[in-house]
């Protein structure tokens, strides 16, 4: 069995969060959706549980980070192409998200970042096939 990943994020307004991510093209598993939470499907093995803050508190003794003022994490998802990166990032901005960082273009890798309606940071990236298997380029400074 493949490992499944469940990212759990606190949200202030579940309806608003569902509307935001629906505009990005994501779907939700109704079996794991009620007034406290929803299960956003990223892929067959990756899911994001959006939990209203009072319900999220049941799973931690720590204070919940205010993602609009501090960085708790950056969730990075891959796209199939540079165009796919731009399409998803543009959908996020049109749906009410905001830019969290300028686009990064490393030639073999391209990414854009946004904040969702709760301030969680998301990065969408594309890496050229085989780039992860290549040796990093040497520079005069590293060769000396």
Domain contains 25 = yes
Q: How many domains does the chain divide into?
A: 1
Is 90 domain-assigned?
yes
Q: Is residue 136 part of a domain?
A: no
CB 49 within 8 A of CB 28: no
Query: For position 134, what pLDDT does the model report?
Result: 61
From the first residue on, what is the mean pLDDT of each consecutive set of 10 residues in the chain (144 residues)? 90 98 97 97 96 96 93 94 97 96 94 96 93 62 49
φ, ψ (nearest 5 deg) of residue 138: -90, 145
Domain assignment present for residue 125? The answer is yes
What does DSSP assign to residue 140? Answer: H
Q: Is residue 144 part of a domain?
A: no
Alpha-carbon distance values, 116 to 50, 72, 111 (Å):
12, 13, 16
Contact 124, 112 (CB under 8 A): yes
Record the tokens describing residue 144, joined without a space: 């000396």
Give residue 23's pLDDT: 97
The domain in which residue 64 lies consists of: 5-131
Q: 138 in a domain, yes or no?
A: no
Residue 139 lies in a domain: no
CATH classification at residue 115? 3.10.180.10
Cα torsion through 60, 66, 71, 73, rounded to 10: 40
User: Are 18 and 50 in contact, with CB atoms under 8 Å apart?
Assistant: yes
């Amino acid at each position: 069995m493949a490992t499944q990943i469940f990212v759990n994020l606190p949200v202030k307004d579940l309806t608003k969060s569902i509307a935001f991510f629906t505009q990005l093209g994501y779907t939700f598993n109704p079996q794991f959706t009620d007034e406290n939470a929803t299960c956003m499907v990223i892929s067959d093995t990756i899911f994001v549980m959006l939990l209203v803050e009072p319900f999220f508190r049941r799973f931690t003794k720590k204070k919940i980070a205010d993602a609009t003022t501090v960085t708790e994490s950056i969730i990075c998802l891959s796209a199939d192409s540079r165009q796919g990166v731009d399409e998803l990032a543009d959908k996020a901005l049109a749906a009410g998200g905001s830019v969290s960082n300028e686009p990064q273009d490393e030639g073999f890798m391209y990414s854009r970042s946004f904040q969702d309606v709760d301030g969680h940071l998301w990065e969408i990236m594309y890496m050229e096939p085989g780039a992860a298997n290549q040796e990093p380029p040497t520079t005069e400074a590293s060769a000396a």
